[in-house]
């Protein structure tokens, strides 16, 4: 609205949007800004907005559905299975590397081991599971890691990320990137990266600041 420029209209509109969002219990406000629109960028920075690291592309097929704000999408995965060449070797690695992340083996069937979050309630079925092995041991064939694929696991603290990295290397993993901040994703993205004994790219990541996520 060119006639309203420099009249404080944008600042007042943002303040009102924030007031409404807080009143509705929203967790965040996200804005779309045309690339190179410096005037708008300055306005949003003054209002306390932080730039997100990636351009957003969207095709909304269900306009009426609720969309979770922020950079973390709602959970959608049930489980992932990784093929391994030596199940005993892989289990020794993942038992050690995943323990700092709170993941423990909870099911072993012929040719497979499953990991899940540790809970006091042993029969709790909700949550994400990680399987290693083969669905049919008789069909076993040499595992070749898929180019471009990597598995990122949530760590409760930054200390857990460091412990994951240390345990993974001690259990036969190979270092890809030491624990540290990756601010190109967002300011508190703290992660470490390893290769498991079969060459799978595995990451542990914590999204909280050191003061909130543990020393």
Give the pLDDT band (50/70/90) at residue 73.
low
Task: State the average pLDDT for the chain.
Answer: 79
- Residue 112 predicted with pLDDT over 70: yes
Q: Mind listing the pLDDT tens digit for each residue in 116-170?
A: 887 645 555 556 788 899 756 667 678 888 888 999 999 999 999 999 999 999 9
Residues of the chain with CATH 3.10.180.10: 80-213
Give the pLDDT band (50/70/90) at residue 67.
very low
- Residue 102 predicted with pLDDT over 60: yes
**Percent of the chain at pLDDT exceeding 70:** 71
User: Given the structure tokens 């049919």, which residue do they identify?
Assistant: 136
- Identify the CA nearest to 163 among candidates 96, 89, 67, 79: 96
Q: What is the mean pLDDT of residues 168-179?
A: 97
Which one is predicted more confidently, 215 or 86?
86
pLDDT at 213: 45
pLDDT at 14: 72
Question: pTM of the entire structure?
Answer: 0.62
Integer CA distances (angstroms), 84 to 12, 67, 96, 99, 163, in order: 58, 37, 16, 19, 23
Reported CATH class of domain 80-213: alpha beta
């Amino acid at each position: 609205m060119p006639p309203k420029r420099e009249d404080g209209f944008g600042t007042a509109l943002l303040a009102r949007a924030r007031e409404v969002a807080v009143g509705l219990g929203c967790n965040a406000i996200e804005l779309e800004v045309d690339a190179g629109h410096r005037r708008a960028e300055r306005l949003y920075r003054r209002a306390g907005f932080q730039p997100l690291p990636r351009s957003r592309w969207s095709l909304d097929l269900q306009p009426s559905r609720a969309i979770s704000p922020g950079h973390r999408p709602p959970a959608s995965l049930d489980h992932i299975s990784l093929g391994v060449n030596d199940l005993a070797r892989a289990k020794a690695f993942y038992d050690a590397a995943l323990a700092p992340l709170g993941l423990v083996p909870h099911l072993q069937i012929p040719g497979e081991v499953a990991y899940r979050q540790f809970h006091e309630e042993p029969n709790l079925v909700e949550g994400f599971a990680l399987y290693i092995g083969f669905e049919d041991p008789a069909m076993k064939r040499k595992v070749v890691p898929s180019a471009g694929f990597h598995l990122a696991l949530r760590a409760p603290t930054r200390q857990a990320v460091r412990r994951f990295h240390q345990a993974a290397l001690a259990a036969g993993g190979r270092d890809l990137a030491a624990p540290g901040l990756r601010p190109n994703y967002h300011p508190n993205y703290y992660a470490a990266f390893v290769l498991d004994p079969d060459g799978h790219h595995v990451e542990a990541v914590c999204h909280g600041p050191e003061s909130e996520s543990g020393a």
